[in-house]
Structure 1
Amino acid sequence: MAQKGLARDTVVRAALELLDEVGLERLSVRRLAARLGVQNPALYWHFRDKQELLDEMARELLAPDMGGPGEGESWREWLTRRAHAYRRTLLSHRDGARLVTGSDPGPGVARGFEDELAILAGLGFTPEQGLHAIASISHYTLGFVLNEQARRERQERGGTRELASYADFPLTVAAVRAGGAPTSDEAFARGVRLIVDGVAASLRPQ
Structure 2
Amino acid sequence: MAKQATAEKRPRRERGSINPDDIIKGAFELAEQVGIDNLSMPLLGKHLGVGVTSIYWYFRKKDDLLNAMTDRALKQYVFATPYVEAKDWRETLRNHAWTMRKTFLGNPILCDLILIRSALSPRAAQLGVLEVEKAIAGLVEAGLSPEDAFDTYSAMSVHVRGSVVLQRLYEKNLAAEGSPSLEDSMVIDPESAPLLAQVSATGHHIIAADDTNFEYSLNCILDHAARKIEAGKKGKGRARD
How high is the TM-score relative to the length of structure 1? 0.81
| Aligned-partner Cα distance in 2 for 1:204–1:172 | 36
- The residue that corresponds to 2:83 in the other structure is 68
- Does the aligned pair in 2 maintain the 1:179–1:187 contact within 8 Å? no
Q: Secondary structure at the match of 1:103?
A: coil
Describe the shift of the 1:87–1:5 C-alpha distance in structure 2 as closer, same or farther (beyond 3 A): farther
Deviation, 1:138, is 1.1
Structure 1 residue 106 and structure 2 residue 130: aligned? Answer: no
- The residue that corresponds to 2:31 in the other structure is 19
- Does the aligned pair in 2 maintain the 1:59–1:109 contact within 8 Å? no
- The residue that corresponds to 2:185 in the other structure is 162
- Does the aligned pair in 1 maintain the 2:30–2:44 contact within 8 Å? yes
Deviation, 1:73, is 6.4
| Aligned-partner Cα distance in 2 for 1:124–1:150 | 37
Structure 1 residue 130 and structure 2 residue 149: aligned? Answer: yes
Question: Whose Rg is larger?
Answer: 2
- The residue that corresponds to 1:152 in the other structure is 171
Residue type of the partner of 2:40? S
Of residues 131-140 and 156-165 in structure 1, the stretch that sits farther from structure 2 once superposed is 156-165
Structure 1: 5+ residue stretches without partners:
none
- The residue that corresponds to 1:188 in the other structure is 214
CA deviation vs aligned residue, 1:170-194 (integer Å, no higher than 9, x gap): 3333333456323322222222212
| Aligned-partner Cα distance in 2 for 1:195–1:49 | 41
Describe the shift of the 1:150–1:32 C-alpha distance in structure 2 as closer, same or farther (beyond 3 A): same
Residue type of the partner of 1:62? L
Select which of 138, 149, 162 maps to 1:119.
138
Residue type of the partner of 1:163? M
Q: Secondary structure at the match of 1:99?
A: helix
Residue type of the partner of 1:203? I
Q: Percent identity?
A: 24
Residue type of the partner of 1:183? A
